[in-house]
Amino acid sequence: MSAVHVIHENPAWLGPFAEAFETAGVPWRELRADEAVLDLSAVPPEGVFYNRMSASSHTRGHASAPEMTRGVLAWLEAHGRRIVNGPGALDLEVSKLRQYARLARAGVRTPRTLAVADPADLPRVAAEAFGARPFILKPNRGGKGAGVALLRSPAELEAHLSSPVFTPPVDGVNLLQDYVEAPFVTRAEFIGGRFFYAVRIETAGTFELCPADACATPAGPRFEIVDTIDPRLRRAFEGFLAANDIEVAGIEFMVDGAGQAWTYDVNTNTNYNPDAERRAGRSAPLALARYLGSLLDEERPARAA
């Protein structure tokens, strides 16, 4: 039977989507990237494939999941299967460098960022780029804010790099970035390539802003849904998504004291905050399930013909 196949590796994030598929009456199955056994001579099942591979998979012991997913997507493409968030999305999910290059191409402003291949160069590069100003260190392959640090000087960076809190990035690439000072960040959610809603997140000093219930902590950040963002930014984001094979994403930006928006993170594997949704009477998981269901309906007659 034809179904929506969800490609993922973190069952803790799947609950709200399972419920939404149920409510929307959309048949679905899991395709676990961390447990997949791929027989390349087999024909993929019928249906629509929704890729939710996450940049932070290595933090759950699933370091091979991105590579496995790349192979699965190539196999699906070879058979002409409909993929939501295809290879282009996965390519950006695992690299902020590539995200920023593509955002710039779409006319979206990103904070000044320097990618550094050899960690020994980090203090020198930071001193040259930022002088005495504070700056951000983050891994190229991010996720959940892991490894993101605000540093006040090259000396502080040196101490940080040799402290036990520092874990080298899984792909070896460190990013140094302009620090943007703002009381909150905004995460704009897109479904089917179109703006759905935005979440304003009061960071309260933490950089770990994963919205899923599975990530919640008592003193964590506060999430509040807002219905609009600057229409020019919204159009630029939608253009960026269309150009990069992305239909579902949460895009994060900050607005500085001068009113300038800085975009710094694209989450093609996005999670929604259930408390904020309840308060606002919105459901992104349901909208997503219906969207995927509509694609499934389009597929069925096409296959039968």
Binding site for Mg ion (CB under 5 A): 252, 265
Other Cβ atoms within 10 Å of 240 Cβ, number: 24
* β-bridge partners, 49: 5, 83
> Which of ligand ADP, Mg ion, none interacts with 144 (beta carbon under 5 to 8 A by kind)?
ligand ADP
88 binds, among ligand ADP, Mg ion, none (CB under 5 to 8 A by kind): none
Contacts of 102 (CB under 8 A, 6+ apart): 92, 240, 243, 244
Q: How far is the CB of 177 from ligand ADP (least distance, A)?
A: 4
Checking DSSP bridges between strand 184-191 and strand 249-255, what pairing results, if any?
Answer: antiparallel
- Given ligand ADP, Mg ion, none, residue 264, with its beta carbon under 5 to 8 Å by kind, binds ligand ADP
CA-wise closest residue to 170 among 56, 32, 89, 266: 56
Residue nearer to Mg ion on the CB measure, 2 or 203: 203
Q: What is the residue whose two structure tokens read 């390349």?
A: 40
Are the C-beta atoms of residues 15 and 51 closer than 8 Å to each other? no
| Residue 96 beta carbon to ligand ADP: minimum distance, rounded to whole angstroms | 7
Least Cβ distance, residue 110 to ligand ADP (angstroms): 9
Tell me how far, at minimum, the Cβ of 265 lies from ligand ADP, in Å: 3
Rounded to whole angstroms, the Cα distance separating 37 from 240 reads 33
Which are the contacts of 55, defined by CB distance < 8 A and separation ≥ 6? 93, 94, 141, 142, 143, 267, 269
Residue 148, contacted partner among Mg ion, ligand ADP, none, CB below 5-8 A by kind: ligand ADP
Q: From Mg ion, ligand ADP, none, which one binds at residue 180 (CB under 5 to 8 Å depending on kind)? A: ligand ADP
Q: Which is nearer to ligand ADP, 189 or 252 (CB)?
A: 252
Least distance from Mg ion to the Cβ atom of residue 164, Å: 23
Residue 179 CB, shortest distance to ligand ADP, in Å, is 5
Task: Please tell me the total number of residues recorded for the chain in this structure.
Answer: 305
Closest approach, Cβ 137 to ligand ADP, in A, equals 10
**Cα(138)–Cα(184) distance, integer angstroms:** 19
The site partner of 154 among ligand ADP, Mg ion, none (C-beta below 5 to 8 Å per kind) is: none
- Comparison of 4 and 136: residue with beta carbon closer to Mg ion: 136
> What's the 3-state SS for 82-97?
EEECCHHHHHHHCCHH
Q: Which CB atom, from 121 or from 208, has the smaller least distance to ligand ADP?
A: 208
Give the nearer residue to ligand ADP in terms of CB position, either 64 or 203.
203
Rg (CA), the chain: 20
User: Residue 213's beta-bridge partner residues?
Assistant: none
Nearer to Mg ion, 9 or 252 (CB): 252
> Edge-to-edge, what's the strand order for the sheet holding 113-116?
113-116, 174-178, 135-139, 149-151
- Which CB atom, from 73 or from 91, has the smaller least distance to Mg ion? 91
Q: Which residues bind ligand ADP (CB under 6 A)?
A: 111, 136, 138, 142-146, 148, 177-180, 185, 203, 207, 209, 252, 264-265
Nearer to Mg ion, 178 or 252 (CB): 252
Nearest residue relative to Mg ion (C-beta): 265
Task: For the sheet with 47-51, list strands across it.
Answer: 28-32, 3-8, 47-51, 82-84
Kindly state the smallest distance separating residue 204's Cβ from ligand ADP, in Å: 10
